[in-house]
């Protein structure tokens, strides 16, 4: 298989499930609002494709678009429809801050040192700028959920969530993500 390419065998799925599989295949981290993808489905993706092409196909029916915060990390947002919406720059800055704080908080977690994890986090950022209502899913490794929850529950984000930002947020992190490796480098 050519470098940078991956084999995809993804039928039409609930968008949340398709994004989890895409993240696992590519090692990319994805951040999105769980309510934003509720009831949405992916387009099927089959074949050997580069990650960007696969992502375009996967979300083509969703009305969402990716906004990259790094080579291997992006957030999904609704395609712009007009004025009066949350500023894309404000949303992007907030999402980048959330992802950076969460990643940094997990760097020293002994249970994650092997970097073979794939996490899905669902949470809100409260008015006190801390993570609230955290739910953790560690794909195939449920023993990781308790230490990750302990590390992140109540984590200060350092920014107030924009008032127009839909919450809860969903963040998927993979230990294979280049951004995670970069932020956790000694």
pLDDT the model gives residue 45: 94
Count the neighbouring beta carbons within 10 Å of the beta carbon of residue 120. Answer: 19
Assigned token pair, 3: 């470098």
Nearest to 78 by CA among 88, 90, 70, 69: 88
Query: How many CA atoms does the CB half-sphere of 73 hold within 13 Å?
Result: 24
Tens-place pLDDT, residues 82-106:
444 566 777 888 888 999 999 999 9
Q: What is the CA radius of gyration of the chain?
A: 16
Q: Which letter, b or e, does each residue of 29-58 get, where b requires 16 or more Cβ atoms within 10 Å of its Cβ?
A: bbbbbbebbeeeebbebeeebebeebbebb
pLDDT the model gives residue 48: 93
Angle between helices 88-107 and 145-152 (to 10 degrees): 120
pLDDT the model gives residue 163: 75
Question: Between β-strands 131-138 and 29-33, what pairing exists: parallel, antiparallel or unpaired?
Answer: unpaired
* Whether the Cβ atoms of residue 157 and residue 101 lie closer than 8 Å to each other: yes
Low-confidence ranges of the chain (pLDDT < 50): 82-84
pTM more than 0.85: no
What the chain holds in terms of domains, given with CATH numbers, is 6-183 (3.55.50.30)
Count the neighbouring beta carbons within 10 Å of the beta carbon of residue 163. Answer: 6
Q: What is the mean pLDDT of the chain?
A: 86
């Amino acid at each position: 298989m050519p470098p940078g390419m991956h084999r995809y065998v993804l039928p039409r799925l609930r968008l949340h499930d398709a994004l989890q599989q895409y993240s696992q295949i590519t090692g990319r981290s994805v951040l999105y609002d769980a309510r934003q993808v509720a009831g949405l489905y992916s387009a099927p993706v089959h074949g050997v494709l580069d990650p960007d092409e696969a992502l375009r196909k996967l979300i083509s029916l969703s009305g969402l678009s990716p906004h990259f915060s790094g080579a291997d990390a992006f957030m999904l947002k609704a395609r712009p429809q007009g004025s009066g919406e949350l500023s894309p720059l404000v949303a992007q800055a907030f999402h980048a801050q959330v992802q950076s704080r969460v990643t940094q908080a997990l760097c020293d977690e002994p249970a994650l040192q092997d970097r073979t994890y794939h996490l899905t986090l669902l949470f809100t950022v409260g008015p006190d700028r801390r993570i609230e209502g955290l739910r953790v899913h560690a794909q195939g490794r449920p023993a990781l959920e308790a230490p990750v929850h302990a590390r992140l529950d109540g984590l200060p984000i350092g920014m107030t969530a924009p008032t127009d930002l839909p919450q809860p947020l969903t963040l998927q992190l993979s230990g294979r993500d280049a951004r995670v490796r970069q932020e956790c480098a000694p």
